Amino acid sequence: MSTINQRLGRTLIYTLLIGFALIYLAPLYVMLVTSLKDIEEIRSGNLIALPEHLNFSAWSKAWNSACTGSECEGLAPYFWNSVRIVIPAVMLSTIIGACNGYVLAQWQFKGSNMLFGALLFGCFIPFQVILLPMAKLLAWLGLANTVVGLVGVHVVYGITFTTLFFRNYYVAIPNELVRAARLDGAGFFAIFWRIFLPMSTPIFVVTVIWQFTQIWNDFLFGVVYSGPGTQPITVALNNLVNTSVGGKEYNVDMAAAIIAALPTLLVYLVAGKYFVRGLTAGAVKG
Amino acid sequence: MGAITIQELTKSYGETNVLKGIDLAIDDGEFLILVGPSGCGKSTLMNCIAGLEDITSGELFIGDDNVTSVNPKDRDIAMVFQSYALYPTMTVERNIRFGLEMRKYPKDEIESTVKDVAKLLQIEHLLDRKPSQLSGGQRQRVAMGRALARSPRVFLFDEPLSNLDAKLRVEMRTEIKKLHKRLGTTIVYVTHDQVEAMTLADRIAVMKDGIVQQFGTPYEIYNDPANRFVADFMGSPAMNFVECIVFEGNLIVESGNQRHEVVIPNTQAVIDSGLETVILGLRPEMITEPKPHAESGYITQMQLGVQVTEPTGPDTLAFGEWNGQEIQARLSPEVGAQAEIDGEVQIQVDTGKAVLFHPQTGARI
Amino acid sequence: MFKYLENQLPKLVMAPTAIAMFVCMYGFIAWTVGLSFTKSRMMPQWDFVGLVQYEKLFANPRWMVALDNLWIFTFLFIVISLFLGLMLAIFLDRNVRAEGALRTIYLYPMAISFVVTGTAWKWILNPGLGIEKLVRDLGFSDFEFRWLVDQDMAIYTIVIAAVWQSSGFVMAMFLAGLRGIDDSLIKAAQIDGASTMRTYWHIILPMMKPVFFGAIVVLSHIAIKSFDLVQALTGGGPGYASDLPANFMYTFAFSRAQMGVGAASAVIMLCGVLAILVPYLYSELRSDKQ
């Protein structure tokens, strides 16, 4: 009796789990098949039907000739814009976060905990409240609509998270290690460089992945602070989808969406474990 | 060379005073133990000596140098930590070399030093391992090796054995003592374990609430405690404390429904104090079964009602009551076993080494 | 002198961050709050006019729609995500085969940009060719599904897309929480004769309270900041029927050159976040001290 019940229970669990897995996968599947059809097939067939023959023209159009507003060069230039923004922004915010975390966890001074609290709070403010003054500041510095300006914005508002990550990682390391190294004659930077950095690989991976995903996926800063030549890919994608010149080309939209999502999806597939750790570390608490 | 002089040292964090005026003079080559319950300030004091914490006021000398505001790395001291604090990403060898490299020792000197230290501590076969691959005892050795390598003027040990299991702790204790004999370097050693303190120290500083309660040899601390706190803290099993009425300079002890007048050494002091009652402090080994040849003016024989006994092997502790307060007697195993059956035992009390305390302040009389 | 400098190193290292933080966060917040009390339009100007911008804001039907949408969206988004996330986590925690693969599938949307999510769901929910056509092709020829272009329903499409994107994350949080529960506790409950259902309801779920709070804080924070999803999925439309405050702020501050109103709406959003965050941080700090 109980075994039958148990079996029923197991079947129910698996049915639900697999059912939901299909639902979660469905949008990606739909995007993929749509991007491989031509417009005729899209209009005549349905959402989930497989394409009759593979057609990659939507992909090449999305990459190098689709219109994003008045320009018609596809997503390629914006993809590289994003790369140019993401790489320095991730590197800078991670390095600064590591130094900050090292200080806040191991070299506490009067007021350092308050400073950390103030930083932590910054993880939560809605960016709308800083959008206007930041625009003014960028204009005043002559950095409006530039890649440098965008990198700066991402670094400034990224270090709250990177600092939090590193601080929480380093705070678990006993302070005796620093004390031992100080007696051994090592100074502030020598201890960081020779003792803390070599054991920080996991948290570096977590932080880099987190920052990469955040900055690659950013839309708000991109749409507010970039100009025609410096827009990141998310902004270009939105423009591409919402530009209606002639009929809607859903296959191109979907190919473009996948291109925009690909880098972060790949990172997630390769290093999912670290991605989840970043999410929970960033989300749960300090 | 490695003498340490501490003068009126205080340390406070904001409003809280952790150290309230410490004066200690530690001789060169001495093994000093700082002991006390947790929160007494002993670790803070050690960190002040190391320079890892700033001193609020007072002065600190190592040898003839005033090091009050000298950086820790320039004080020529080495420290062994409770958690060992081995650098996790470095091999054992690099852990030991690190301090030498930081001080820019010549390469060949580093090589030979590492070799010597590894040999001395018998960790040669571990040199290529990472700390995470070592057992607790091995980590302990490496931590000592790292301290030894620089051959400093002073070694500081911060509860180095508290993370080891009981058996290993005893082994390492002996080893540390041997090492000290061999090197002759000054050692300041923090512990909360009074057995460690008694066995290792040349001199002990017993601390409580940021004040040194007593500073003396283990013998003095054990037999001549400065106050009730020291008497209670040092010694295992703990000293018996019984409040007794004073009668013509003697103390009234009621045991097994009989009243006894117990003679104590410093009768005059008790009479002079004018107290009606005092606390009698008597170590359990002074309450035993009657010994045939024990003859002194301080022996009293009496019956003791036994509630429970605890055999420890070499002897058995018997718990009874004097004046309605619990005391422990130290009996031989045979007598102890019989006492458990009979529920009472004939004992002799030797008050020759009894110490007396003020019932309210706990001060020695 | 050298020693003094060396001792100041930690502070020196923190200094740039501290300065950036006080200028670009707290300074800018003050700036925006200040601006919201002026009559700035195209350019900031500093004639203080009191609460005029706030009065304008709350007299603006578009803002009221955005606020209403925010309540609907936040409430549904949180409730559904919590429910789905918790359910998936509990099932995944029952020694399921291929757990890793399933977890990867539930969580991958979190790695994707909201703009991509919006684009994808915009196509799926497309009234002509999307789900509606799919169901009609299956034989239900009268089936209608036009939420995307329906004034009253558009906000719910945003709920759907947002739940799809974020519920996996809630699952991960709950799963971590469940894994943290001491096994002996569940065994003890079983020995006491509690059924599986009862064990979950009376013992495990109450222990998940901190996870619930954490998840609610994170989800409501996502909800208040939601901007890109709306922009990509509905563009705030039809009309402004699916606007959220973040979209309102963007439109008024940057497209319509009404800085004062934009700043006022941003300040209200900040107050919303504070209303959730302050009690949460307060309780966290208090439990830390215990």
- Same-domain status, A135 and A27: no
Q: Output phi, psi for B344, to 5 deg.
A: -155, 165
Q: Which domain holds residue A23?
A: 2-55
Residue A251 near residue A62, CB atoms below 8 Å: no
- From the list C106, C120, C262, the residue facing A27 with the nearest CB is C120
A99 within some domain: yes
> Which chain A residues are Cβ-neighbours of B102 within 8 angstroms?
184-186, 190
- Same-domain status, A193 and A269: yes
Rounded to whole angstroms, the Cα distance separating B120 from A27 reads 68
- From the list C32, C117, C137, the residue facing A132 with the nearest CB is C32
pLDDT at B174 over 60: yes
A60 within some domain: no
**Mean pLDDT within A189-194:** 92
**pLDDT digit string, tens, across residues B90-141:** 999 999 999 999 888 999 999 999 999 999 888 999 999 999 999 888 999 9
C138 within some domain: yes
- Same-domain status, A162 and A202: yes
Give domain B4-233's CATH number out of 3.40.50.300, 3.10.290.10, 3.30.70.1140, 3.40.50.150.
3.40.50.300
- From the list A156, A242, A265, the residue facing C24 with the nearest CB is A156
- Same-domain status, A151 and A182: yes
> Which chain C residues are Cβ-neighbours of B71 within 8 angstroms?
3, 6
| SS percent in chain B: helix, strand, coil, step 5 | 30, 35, 35
Residue range(s) in chain B whose domain bears CATH number 3.40.50.300: 4-233
> Which chain A residues are Cβ-neighbours of C18 within 8 angstroms?
115
Nearest CA in chain B to C2: B71
**Mean pLDDT within C119-135:** 83
Best of C2, C4, C5, C14 to disrupt the A interface (most A CBs within 10 Å) is C14
Best of C21, C91, C116, C138 to disrupt the A interface (most A CBs within 10 Å) is C116
pLDDT at A258 over 50: yes
Partner C contacted by A242 (CB < 8 A): yes
- Same-domain status, A159 and A50: no
- Same-domain status, A144 and A19: no
ipTM for the predicted complex comes to 0.87
A138 within some domain: yes
A70 within some domain: no
A140 within some domain: yes
C121 within some domain: yes
A280 — pLDDT class (breaks 50, 70, 90) = low
C11 within some domain: no
- Is B50 in contact with A179 (Cβ distance < 8 A)? yes
- Structural domain total, chain A: 2
Q: How many CB pairs under 8 A join A and C?
A: 250
Q: State the nearest Cα–Cα gap between C274 and chain A, in angstroms.
A: 8
- The CATH number of residue C184's host domain is 1.10.3720.10
- Is A176 in contact with B81 (Cβ distance < 8 A)? yes
- Same-domain status, A147 and A113: yes
> Which chain C residues are Cβ-neighbours of B69 within 8 angstroms?
3
**Mean pLDDT within A212-216:** 91
- Structural domain total, chain C: 1
A176 within some domain: yes
- From the list A102, A268, A280, the residue facing C111 with the nearest CB is A268
Tokens matching residue B250: 């003697």
Helix (H) or strand (E) holding B119: helix B107-121
**pLDDT digit string, tens, across residues C34-57:** 888 888 777 777 777 888 888 888
Collect contacts of A36-42 with beta carbons under 8 A, ≥24 apart.
Answer: A36/A251, A37/A251, A38/A251, A39/A247, A39/A249, A39/A250, A39/A251, A42/A250, A42/A251, A42/C129
The CB density around residue C180, as the number of other CB atoms within 10 Å, is: 11
- Same-domain status, A95 and A51: no
**pLDDT digit string, tens, across residues A132-180:** 899 989 999 998 889 999 999 999 999 988 998 899 889 888 889 999 9
Q: If we measure between CA atoms, which residue out of C33, C15, C63 comes closest to residue C259?
A: C33
pLDDT at C289: 53
Best of C1, C2, C3 to disrupt the B interface (most B CBs within 10 Å) is C3
- Is A27 in contact with C102 (Cβ distance < 8 A)? no
Helix (H) or strand (E) holding B280: strand B277-282
- Same-domain status, A104 and A208: yes
A238 within some domain: yes
- Same-domain status, A94 and A44: no
- Same-domain status, A83 and A46: no
pLDDT at A285: 40
